[in-house]
Structure 1
C-alpha cells in the first residue's frame, strides 16, 4: 500500500512538472518605477559617481580600430567590478564595435548609466552577429542610455539579405540584427539618442517593465527593409514621447503581450506608420491591451493607424486601444483594422481567430493619397466589438473619401469625412 501511495505521489509530481513546462513564462513585473516623479530629462551625477571611459581600456576613436574588447572591459569594470555609483562613458569620436552583451544585474546601485557622446558604428560583416542582435542589454533593474550620441548600424550591405519574417509561418526566419535590444529588464530610460541605418530594428524592447523612450531620432531610408523604429513585445508600462522616426518599416510596432503603452508627440515618416500586430501569428499568444496613442503626426507613410491580424492562423486578442489627436499628411492608408493581413483582395482563407474590441479613433485630420480613408475589415468569426470613429477629417484632393466596414458596426460621431460606412 505504501509503495502504491509513493507511486501516485511520483506520478503527481511528474504531471505537475509537465504542466509547468508547457505554461508560457510571463515576464517579471518589477516594483514601482524608480524614475516616477523625477526629471529624467536632466542628467545629474550621483554623489560620488565615478566615470569609466572606454578610452581607458584601449578604445581608439578613429572609426577603424575594433573597439569591442575595450567596450566590454570597460563595461565589466562599471557593472561587475565596482561597488559605488559608476557610469560608462563613450566620449566624442568614432568607435567601431561588433555584437556585445551588456549583461546584468550589476553590482553597483541602480540605475547604471551609459553616457554616449560619440558615434558608435557596427561592423558590417553580418556573420559576426551570432547572438542575433548588435548591442544587447539584459537583466537590468535600472538602466539609462543617454548622452546625445549616435548608433550607426551600417546596415546598407545587409539589407539585401533581409528576409520578410512577418510572412514566415514556420518561425525559422532569421531577422537582421537590431541595433539596441533590451530584454528582461525594468526601469529603463533611453533618451536623446540617435540611431541610423540599422541592419534590422532600431530599438527592440521585450520582456520589460517600466520603460521610457524619449527624444529619440531614428533614421533609415524609406527603402530599407524591416527597419522598424521601435518594436515592443511581452512588455508592460512603456512610455514613448517626443520621438522622431523616419525609416523603412513601421515607425512603432507592438505585438503579443504588450500592455499599458502610452505614445505621445511622435513624428513618423517616411515609414509604414503605427502598427499593432501582426497578431495571431504564434500559438498561445498573449493579449495586447491598454494602448494610448495621441498628439502624433504621420507624414508620407504607407499606413497610418493600423491593427493587423493574420487569417487562418492562431487565436489572439487586442483590446482597449485609442488613437486621438493625430495629424496626417499624404498618408496612403490612414485608418485600418485588417484581419486579412497579407491575403489578396477577396481573401478565401479561414477567418482570423483574433478577437479585437474597444478600438477608438478620434480627431484624426489631414490628407490621404487614397480615396479609401477608413478601412475596417474584421474577422467573420468574431467581428470587431466596441469600435468608435469620431471627428475624422481626411481629404483626398478635391475627390471624396470613403469608408469600408466588414464584420463590424462602429459607432460614428462628430465631424466625419469620409462619411460613415453604409
Structure 2
C-alpha cells in the first residue's frame, strides 16, 4: 500500500512538473543576426551554390497538376541532402500545392534560399489543411524567400466559413489557414514577393527571432474576413519595412510576447490599420514591449493606430511603444486605446487587467471620417501611465475634431488638432 501511494504521489508530481514546464516555457530571445550589416536586397549566387528546380522533381506549372510531392522532394534535397549553399527554384508558371512543411534544421549551409519566380497556388479544399496552415516553415536558422513571385491562397471560396477566433469564447474555434506560417525559426528574410487572397492571414510569425519582412505586397479584398496582412506573436526582433498591405483585416497585428518590433514605411489600406492586441484574453500572457512604428501611411482604414485589451479577463501588459510620422487619409478611428474591447459602449464588465504604459503618439497628420480622432479609454483598475500625445493634426472636413481620455492623464504637447482632453 505504501509503495502504491508513493508511486501515485510521484506520478502526480511529474504531471504537475510537466504542466508547469509548459506554462513557463521560455520566450525566444534574439541571438546573433546573420544578416546584420548585409545588403539583403541584393541576391547573388554564393560560390558553389546549387540550384534545384521544382520541375526536376516532377512539378508542372499548368495550375492543375498537384505539385505538393514535387515541392516536398525538392525541399528535402535542398535542406536535408545538401551540405553546401543551396536554393529551391520555383520558375515561371502556376504551381498548385496543398498544405506542406518546410522543416529544419537543414544540413545545407545557411541561409537556404527559396526563389519564387512563378505563382504558387493553394488548393481550395479546406479538408486538406489538417496541418492548420498552408506553407509551414519551422525550426530553421537562416532562410530567404525571394524572387518576385506570387503566393495565391485562392481563399475566396473559404471566406464564408471564416471564424473570428479573436472574438470567440469557444476554445475550439478554428481560424482559416494562413498562407505563410513561420515558427521556431531565426534569421529569416522574406522579400519582394506577393501574397494574394489568402484563406486566413497572409503571413503569421510566431516564436521567431531576427526576422525581416521587406518590400512585400499583400493583397485581398476589403470585404475578405480575418485576412490580417502580417500577424506576429511570441517573437523577438522583427523588422517590417517598405511593405504595401491592402486587405480585409489588420494590416499588421501584434499580440502577446512580441518585443523589439520595428515597422517602417508601411502603406496600409484598405484594412483595419495597425493593431496591438487584443491583450488579456489568455492566462499567463507575456508582455508586449519595445514596438516602434514610423513613417507609415494609412488610407481608407477602419482604424489607424490601435491598442486593444479585453475587460474582465486576464492580466497582461504592453509598454515602450511609439507611433511617429504617420499620414492618414479617411481613417475612421485614427488613434485609439480600447480597454473595453468588444464591450463598448456602456460596458458593465469588470475592468481590464492589462497594464499599459509608456505609449507615445507623435506627428500624426491627415483626415478622419469621424470627429472623435483621439480616443483613449483605459482600465479603471489600471489607468494607462506615461501616455504622450504630441503634434497631432487630424481633420474631418471643415468640422473640428475632438479627443477623449478615460482613466488616463496623457501629456499633450506641440500643435494639436484635436485639442487636448479637458
Distance 1:93 1:397, change over 3 A: same
SS in 2 for 1:387: strand
Answering whether residue 216 of structure 2 is matched by residue 216 of structure 1, we say yes
CA contact (8 A) 2:122 2:152 kept: yes
- Partner residue in 2 for 1:93: 93
- Measured after TM superposition, the shift of residue 23 of structure 1 is 3.1
- Partner residue in 1 for 2:351: 351
Distance 1:161 1:374, change over 3 A: same
- Partner residue in 1 for 2:254: 254
Q: How does the TM-score come out when normalised to structure 1?
A: 0.96
- Partner residue in 1 for 2:81: 81
Distance 1:70 1:410, change over 3 A: same
Q: 1:18-417 residue pairs with structure 2 within 5 A?
A: 18=18, 20-417=20-417
SS in 1 for 2:74: helix
- Measured after TM superposition, the shift of residue 391 of structure 1 is 0.1
Instruction: Output the CA distance in 1 between the equivalents of 2:24 and 2:226.
Output: 27
SS in 2 for 1:17: helix
SS in 1 for 2:161: coil
- Measured after TM superposition, the shift of residue 88 of structure 1 is 0.3
CA contact (8 A) 2:30 2:237 kept: no
Distance 1:151 1:359, change over 3 A: same
1:96-144 deviations in whole A, cap 9, x for unaligned? 1100100000111111100000001000001100000000000001010
CA contact (8 A) 1:114 1:145 kept: yes
- Structure 1 portions without partners, runs of 5+: none
Q: How many residues align?
A: 417
SS in 2 for 1:79: helix
Instruction: Output the CA distance in 2 between the equivalents of 1:373 and 1:13.
Output: 54
Distance 1:390 1:200, change over 3 A: same
- Measured after TM superposition, the shift of residue 346 of structure 1 is 1.2
CA contact (8 A) 2:213 2:239 kept: yes
1:8-44 deviations in whole A, cap 9, x for unaligned? x979975983574353312333520000000000011
CA contact (8 A) 2:28 2:236 kept: no
1:46-103 deviations in whole A, cap 9, x for unaligned? 1100100000011111101111111111111111111111100000011111001000
Q: Which moved more, 1:75-84 or 1:244-253?
A: 75-84
CA contact (8 A) 1:169 1:281 kept: no
Instruction: Output the CA distance in 2 between the equivalents of 1:307 and 1:206.
Output: 19
Distance 1:407 1:119, change over 3 A: same
CA contact (8 A) 2:339 2:377 kept: yes
Distance 1:86 1:126, change over 3 A: same
CA contact (8 A) 1:229 1:250 kept: yes
Q: Which moved more, 1:362-371 or 1:10-19?
A: 10-19
- Structure 2 portions without partners, runs of 5+: none
